Amino acid sequence: MAARSSSETRSQSIPPAERVLVSEDDAAVMLSVSKPTFRKYTALGLIVRVEMPTGTRRNLYRTSDLEQFAAACAAKR
């Protein structure tokens, strides 16, 4: 069995809500929406993807942006 790097172990041990940046999967879970719904929100510009250095192919989102979006949605109810 291959040993995990310290960054892999660290990212798996920190809950998504306590991270600064989260993946699309974790972001959808944090907002309690499906991935297609989350992608729709980003396509509409309601949630902004963090621009990563050239060559990085991951969509990451700030937890602070997600929390603000969730609060705005809750306020409209």
pLDDT digits 0-9 by tens, 32-76: 999 999 999 999 999 999 887 777 778 899 999 999 999 998 888
Which residue ranges form the domains of the chain, and what is each CATH number? 19-76 (1.10.1660)
| β-sheet bridge partners, residue 61 | 22
List pLDDT tens digits, range 12-26.
567 766 778 999 999
Residue type, 4: R
d(CA 18, CA 25) in angstroms, rounded, equals 15
The structure's pTM equals 0.71
Residue 65 CA to residue 33 CA, distance in Å, equals: 15
Task: Give the distance, in angstroms, between the CA of residue 15 and the centroid of all CA atoms in the same chain.
Answer: 12
